[in-house]
């Protein structure tokens, strides 16, 4: 269960890392799309810059042309050589404007193709009209210049934004690279943990098999022990039954022996009583010297004192008080040697 929990936690972490990677990749693609859009704008802006360069050239040529026209319109005596020179200059200017028209068609004007001869061949009204048209065209070019300057400012702002976004993208790319390195390390750690988990899984399987085998062996031993205990119990019951039977027989034998012993004691008591009666009969007769010696010998052999003997009561019925006094007095009169 512990290994399963570790695997689940690691899987959850991997899923979270993959989710973060997907989000980062999505942001990266969005920034790439934005960069692509700015690249397209930069291409357009580069074309605008080219157009602006051409427009600057045209404006410079227009200024030089106006200077030449102002010089030509001054009151002076024109000679034929000068008129030819002015015509060549106007032809050159008109040719230049033809080039301008070919370069920038959306700013072209039909006035560029009107003057193909020398200005001196036209009258004064035509020249004034031409000058007015040139002024109108100059204003138009000034408007275009303002428009282009605004475009340039906007493009500069766009370039600034592109630089900022570029820096942001660089930071995010660095973060993404750092996250990629971290994710690669985590992936490597995940692989190592997965490998360790597989090893632990295999070892746990082996341990489970060994535990199962040990459990089976313990169960067999338990069954064997149970059978042995049952056999012992049955044998014990048999022994108890046999012992109870033996005890019963022994009790009967003991009772029989006790009864026999009691009978023997009774017989002995009867014999003792009979013997005592015989002794009493003998003591009732007169004591002789031999009887006294016999009694004294009996006293010495049995360490008895006829006057202090604990069983004197047995003799009270057979020996009279006078007989005992007589025997005691006789024994005191005897010398120790005679007593011996």
What integer pLDDT is reported at residue 290 of this predicted model?
58
Beta-carbon contacts of 111 under 8 Å, excluding residues fewer than 6 positions away, are: 130, 133, 134, 137
Asked whether the beta carbons of 328 and 295 are under 8 A apart, the reply is no
Rounded Cα gap, residues 80 and 167, in angstroms = 68
Model pLDDT for residues 141-168, shown as the tens digit of each residue:
888 888 888 888 888 888 888 888 888 8
pLDDT average, residue stretch 239-253: 81
Q: What share of the chain in percent tops pLDDT 70?
A: 55
Instruction: Say yes or no to pLDDT of 253 above 80.
Output: yes
Nearest CA to 3 among 168, 207, 300? 207
- Concatenating the DSSP letter of every residue in 276-328 gives HHHHHHHHHSPP-HHHHHHHHHHHHHHT--TTT-TTHHHHHTTS-HHHHHHHH
Largest CA distance in the chain: 228
pTM: 0.25
User: Per residue in 262-296, pLDDT tens?
Assistant: 888 888 888 888 888 887 776 665 555 555 666 66
pLDDT at 100: 38
What is the gyration radius of the CA atoms in the chain, in angstroms?
A: 78
**Which is nearest to 99 in space by CA: 112, 86, 111, 88?**
112
320 pLDDT more than 60:
no
Q: What is the pLDDT of residues 10-32, one digit of tens each?
A: 778 777 777 777 777 677 667 66
- When pLDDT is cut at 50, 70 and 90, the band that residue 339 belongs to is very low
Q: What local confidence, expressed as pLDDT, does residue 114 receive?
A: 42
């Amino acid at each position: 269960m512990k290994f399963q929990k570790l695997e689940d936690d690691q899987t959850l972490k991997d899923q979270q890392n993959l989710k973060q990677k997907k989000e980062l990749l999505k942001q990266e693609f969005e920034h790439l799309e934005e960069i692509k859009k700015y690249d397209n704008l930069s291409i357009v802006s580069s074309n605008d810059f080219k157009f602006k360069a051409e427009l600057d050239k045209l404006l410079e040529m227009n200024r030089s042309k106006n200077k030449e026209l102002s010089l030509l319109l001054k009151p002076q005596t024109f000679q034929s050589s000068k008129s030819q020179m002015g015509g060549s200059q106007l032809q050159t200017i008109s040719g230049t404007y033809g080039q301008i028209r070919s370069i920038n068609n959306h700013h072209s004007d039909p006035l560029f193709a009107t003057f193909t001869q020398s200005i001196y061949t036209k009258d004064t009204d035509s020249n004034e009209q031409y000058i007015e048209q040139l002024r109108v065209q100059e204003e138009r070019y000034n408007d275009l210049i303002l428009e282009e300057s605004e475009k340039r400012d906007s493009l500069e702002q766009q370039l600034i934004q592109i630089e900022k976004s570029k820096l942001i993208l660089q930071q995010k790319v660095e973060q993404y690279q750092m996250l990629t390195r971290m994710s690669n390390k985590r992936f490597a750690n995940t692989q190592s943990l997965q490998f360790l988990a597989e090893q632990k899984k295999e070892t746990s399987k082996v341990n489970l098999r060994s535990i199962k085998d040990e459990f089976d062996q313990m169960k067999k031993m338990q069954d064997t022990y149970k059978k042995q205990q049952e056999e012992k119990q049955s044998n014990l019951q048999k022994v108890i039954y046999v012992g109870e039977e033996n005890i019963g027989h022994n009790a009967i034998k003991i009772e029989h022996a006790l009864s026999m012993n009691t009978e023997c004691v009774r017989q002995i008591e009867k014999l003792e009583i009979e013997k005592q009666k015989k002794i009493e009969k003998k003591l009732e007769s007169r004591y002789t010297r031999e009887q006294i010696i016999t009694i004294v010998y009996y006293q010495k052999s049995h360490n008895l004192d006829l006057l202090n003997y604990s069983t004197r009561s047995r003799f009270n019925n057979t020996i009279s008080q006078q007989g005992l006094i007589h025997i005691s007095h006789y024994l005191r009169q005897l010398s120790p040697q005679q007593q011996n």
